[in-house]
Amino acid sequence: MKKSVFILIVAFLSTATMFGQAEKDLKSASKSLSKYFLDPSGNADLLPEAVDMMNKAFESDEIKKMASSWITRGKIYNEVANSEFKQKTIDPEYKIISVDAANLAYEAFAEAGKLAEKKAEKKSVSTGLVEAENHLNNFAIFAYQDQDYAAAFDNFSTTLKAYDMIKGMGGTSRLDESETGYADQLFFAALSGYYGDRRQESKPMFEKLFEMKSNEAVVYEALYTLNKEEGATDAVKYLEEGRKLFPDDTSILFAEINHYLTEGKLEQLIDKLKTAISKEPDNVSVYTTLGSVYEQLQAQSTEAGDEAKATEYFDSAKDYYNQAMEKDEANFEATYSMGALYYNKAASYVDRLNEFAADLTPAGMKNYDATKLEMDALFEKALPFFTKAEGINGKDGNTLIALKEIYARLNNLEKSNEYKEKFDALSGGE
């Protein structure tokens, strides 16, 4: 029994000794920090020394139970962050070494806040948090400017945590200095997460900005994208709300256009694309897209047997493809699309032609000849556009196939075989 008591006493003395050493290390860290404050440039080596001594002290679990320990830790990391900030301000090319200093300062004061009981300790926590919040914001801005969006997100989002804690303690945050301070911080945190592959973490922030009726158009576009990626059927509501608030914003307009294109809602697209043309009259892709919409509507009307409407849509498609080529005569998409417009209309005659071919009466033969003349005329109109498209991009397989088929329809087998060989060479004979 005596032996067991002796062992317990030895163990207790050992623990006490370790704690005593940890206290000494923490005091040494605090003294090094105080000396550093007196002459930061002359005592620059004392700051890393303070960090080392503090880290040794925090190997003790007893040290971690004291609010004062965490306050000292927070002060040291605040000063590390401040030192980095000064160097970065003096030399914009300087690469910050202690990238997590501001975050570590916040974490230390947050932990101290849980343990603080004395009034002086709580005041030190509040003061330290305000300083840490400033450093977090500065580090976030530096990272954002360097397009290190993941680091920017970490710092911006932690700034928001610091803000909540400061306000919870009855303090005043730097974000209180302007009406939009908090909203701006929330916006940049969300945007950093969105760009920095932390999209799901940024989503609640965007949702909060949406509730606040943010004056940043990208909020509505981002929420549409995030919800669309999750399969939400009502994701477009964010674009619609954004369009109400920002009727002149082209990014939301084009996101809306892409949405309706994906959904195949052609009628809704016409006015939106015309609006896009009015805002970006030199954007050739908008003209070709509107031409494509009219062409698809023409195909639907032809299938439904509404020839009058089909002709109207065909003429509109042709008009917008022509406008696109007027803007950029070497534009492959517009040139190819014009050829395809004529080609597809000619191809729509094939079924009718086959019906007349089966009718061997004089009337049937007459209809066959007339229909073939119309079809061939359309193929001939398509030919120069595909030829020009090949000149712009000779590696496009669809263009080569179209030329092969047109020449075959026009009974020019030599040219048809020539394009077959070109296509086979391009595709490896597959």
Q: Concatenate the DSSP letters of all residues of 326-355 into one string.
A: HH-TT-HHHHHHHHHHHHHHHHTTHHHHHH
- The pLDDT, as a whole number, for residue 392 is 96
Residues 367/359, Cβ–Cβ less than 8 Å: yes
- The pLDDT, as a whole number, for residue 50 is 75
pLDDT digits (tens, 9 = 90+) for 5-59: 444 444 444 444 555 676 776 776 667 666 665 566 666 677 777 788 888 878 8
**CB atoms inside a 10 Å sphere around CB 3:** 7
Residues 116/127, Cβ–Cβ less than 8 Å: no
Side-chain half-sphere CA neighbours of 322 within 13 A: 7
> Which residues, given as ranges, of the chain have pLDDT below 70?
1-20, 22, 25, 28-30, 32-44, 357-359, 364, 429-430
- The pLDDT, as a whole number, for residue 38 is 58
In order of their start, the domains of the chain are 66-213 (1.25.40), 215-263 (no CATH)
- The pLDDT, as a whole number, for residue 7 is 46
Q: Tokens representing 21?
A: 């050493």
CA distances in angstroms from 419 to 106, 236, 402, 403, listed in the order given: 69, 45, 9, 7
The C-alpha atoms of residue 138 and residue 188 are separated, in whole angstroms, by: 13
- The pLDDT, as a whole number, for residue 13 is 42
Which of 127, 139, 63 lies closest to 101 in space, CA to CA? 139
The C-alpha atoms of residue 364 and residue 382 are separated, in whole angstroms, by: 27
The C-alpha atoms of residue 190 and residue 169 are separated, in whole angstroms, by: 25
- Residues 6 or more apart whose CB falls under 8 angstroms from that of 326 comprise none
Which of 98, 156, 109 lies closest to 132 in space, CA to CA? 109
**CB atoms inside a 10 Å sphere around CB 139:** 28
The C-alpha atoms of residue 192 and residue 140 are separated, in whole angstroms, by: 9
Lookup result for tokens 């062409």: 295
- Residues 6 or more apart whose CB falls under 8 angstroms from that of 5 comprise none
Lookup result for tokens 């949406």: 210
The C-alpha atoms of residue 283 and residue 374 are separated, in whole angstroms, by: 34
Which of 325, 420, 322, 339 lies closest to 380 in space, CA to CA? 339
- The pLDDT, as a whole number, for residue 12 is 42
CA distances in angstroms from 204 to 199, 207, 238, 380, listed in the order given: 10, 5, 14, 58
Alpha-helical segments (H) within 175-306:
181-195, 199-211, 217-229, 236-245, 250-263, 266-279, 284-304
